[in-house]
Every structure is written in C-alpha cells, then in structure tokens.
Amino acid sequence: MTAVLIFLDHAGASLAKSERELLSLAGSLGDVSVALAGDAEQTYLDGIGSYGVQECYRPEGDVTQVLVAGKAAFVTDAVRAAGADVVLLGNSYEAKEIAARAAIRLEAGVITDVVSLDDELTATKADFAGSYTVTCRVTTDVAVLTVKPNSFEAVEAGAPVSPREVRIPVDAEPAAAHITGRVDKPVSGRPELSEARVVVAGGRGVEGNFGPLEELADALGGAVGASRAATDAGWIEHSAQVGQTGKTVSPQLYVSVGISGAVQQRAGMQTSKVIVAINKDADSPIFEIADFGIVGDLFAVLPQATDEIRKRGL
C-alpha cells in the first residue's frame, strides 16, 4: 500500500476546500498521514481524522518564523518518519518552494501544477507557459507533487476521529533570516483566488475600474483576478495577478474581462473548466480558448449580466 504524506500549512479553524481535495486525493492513493506546520483547534484535527488520517506530525517548536526553510526541514523529517512514498502539497508559490527544498533533501523528484493523477502516479500538467499539456511521472523512490486547487473532487468526510500526534524535533539553527515584520492583508470577504470556483479577471481594458468586475464576482460568489498589465498599473494588488508570473487558477468558471489573452496570461488560467471572454476586440487571442465569447463594451455587458444573475438568484 502506498504511504502518502500531506503537508498542511494550517490557517483556519476548519479545513479549507483545497485541503479537503488533497485529503480526498491522498485517500484514493493509499494510507494517509499529515504534516501540520502550525497550531490547530480540535475541530480542525477532527476534520483531518474524518478523512482516515491515522497520524498527524507536528513540529516541536515554531517553524513559521523563518520563511520556508523551517517548514521544508520539518516536511523532510516528517516524510522520513512516516516512510512516505508520495508527498502532496498545495500549489502556492510557498508550497512549491517547500516542495523543492524538501525534494533536494530527500533526493526526490518533483512535479508541480498537477491537475490529474492516476493510480500509477502519472501526473497531468500544463507546461511551457501553458503551450502543452503533458503527462509525467517521478522515477525516484519518493514523489513530491504540488496540486492545483479545483482539480480533484473533495469527497464527504466520515465520522470525526482524532489522529495520533507525533512530534518532530525542529532544527534550532534554520538557514534563513528571521522575519522582522508583517503586514496583514485586507479582508475582502471573497474566496482566496487560487481556491475560488469562480474567478472574474480584468486586464488593460478595464481602464482602472474594477467595480463592475467586483460586483459580478460577488453575485457569483467568486474571486477577482487581474492580468499583469492591470497590477503593474497599480489598479489592483499584485496578489490578484493570474498568469505565468502570477497565480495559477483552475476554477469551474473563469470570466476574462478586457484581457487580450497573451500566452503568459493564458498559462495561469487555461485549465479552467469553462472560460467566458468579454472583449471589444473580436480578434483578441483570448477568444481562441474561450468556451463562450462576447464582443462588446465590458461596462455595458457586466452590469447587465450581474443584474440578471441577481434576478435569477444564481
């Protein structure tokens, strides 16, 4: 039976959707254990246990104050303690760096941006800025995989069970600088961009006005994203950037508004299940990959769409 270890960087009182997806995927592969970086409430631990997790590895000390170095060292030791064959992480920039650092220590192969995985651990992912969809497989004894949110179904949890806790010693001299300050990110009330089932993204065509996009996103219960041109212009924070040099998203619905659809931007969203493009230029490359396209003024189209969605209670 394959031994699977999931790294969870706890941030809430209950399991996030992406965490439930990882737990569901792991359960389909073999025996599951969890490496949990931070403190967690009992309800969170019960949630982990409800997915059949028997062991939860915790660090003896704080691994969150040294950027990713402490977390990578902790993951490495947890993999060895669990005898894991497969390591699963999320797909954030931080998770990818942790995966790379841990893989070097473990002499393991790494596959990032996984959107599909079969029983033989053959992964499907986009590559070369999204120009190709490739299948690949790790050939080392341990496989380290980062998984895109919304790529796997989160199955229903079972009865709450508290997994057995195993403490892992932490290196007292991590090779990284200490964090000297933090700034809290403003809370919008919208889902996190990489986990959202609906993303409404704007580009140069919004001309600095993201108001209509925010209203549509709120009507759909989605998140707001942007192209690099929009973030570089200062119209929206850089954490909202979708693309090759931004976040990679794979929602059920992606609404592209005023974005031309250059290859760098497409690399971050073309695995979306349904793509709707709104652009006044009928020759925009985004229409080549869109499932539905609207040629028109976004400032006329979006308010009508938002009003109709609210009328229908969608």
The model's confidence at residue 303, banded by pLDDT at 50, 70 and 90, is very high
Which pair of tokens denotes residue 177? 């600088």
Query: Are 260 and 231 within 8 A, CB to CB?
Result: no
91 is in an annotated binding site: no
64 is in an annotated binding site: no
Cα–Cα nearest to 309, from 222, 187, 227, 236: 222
244 is in an annotated binding site: yes
101 is in an annotated binding site: no
Averaged pLDDT score across all residues of the chain? 89
Q: How far apart are CA 16 and CA 190, in angstroms?
A: 14
Report H helices in the chain.
17-29, 42-49, 69-82, 93-106, 211-220, 228-232, 263-266, 298-312
Cα–Cα nearest to 224, from 242, 243, 248: 242
For 288, residues 6+ apart whose C-beta sits below 8 A from its C-beta are: 261
| 3-class DSSP state of 48 | helix
State residue 61's pLDDT score: 82
296 is in an annotated binding site: no
Third-level CATH fold of 193-312? Rossmann fold (3.40.50)
293 is in an annotated binding site: no
Same fold, 2-169 and 193-312: yes
Query: Using the 8-state DSSP alphabet, how is residue 61 labeled?
Result: S
Is the model's pTM score more than 0.85? no
Q: How far apart are CA 204 and CA 231, in angstroms?
A: 9
150 CA to centre of own chain? 8
Q: How far apart are CA 88 and CA 148, in angstroms?
A: 11
How do residues 28-82 score in pLDDT, each as one tens digit? Answer: 999 999 999 988 888 888 889 899 898 999 998 888 777 788 899 999 999 999 9
State residue 173's pLDDT score: 54
For residue 93, CA distances in Å to 18, 119, 192 come to 15, 26, 14
Q: Is the pLDDT of residue 1 over 80?
A: no
Task: Compute φ and ψ for 170, nearest 5 degrees.
Answer: -110, 135
The model's confidence at residue 2, banded by pLDDT at 50, 70 and 90, is very high
Angle at 42 between CA 36 and CA 48, to 5 degrees: 50
Lowest mean pLDDT among 30-34, 140-144, 182-186, 269-273: 182-186
Section 116-131 average pLDDT? 84
> What ranges do the domains of the chain cover?
2-169, 193-312
304 is in an annotated binding site: no
Pick the CATH number of 2-169 from 3.90.550.40, 1.10.760.10, 3.40.50.620, 3.20.20.80: 3.40.50.620
For 154, residues 6+ apart whose C-beta sits below 8 A from its C-beta are: 17, 20, 21, 23, 24
Q: How far apart are CA 64 and CA 179, in angstroms?
A: 9
**Burial of 216 (C-beta count, 10 Å sphere; 0-12/13-18/19+):** buried
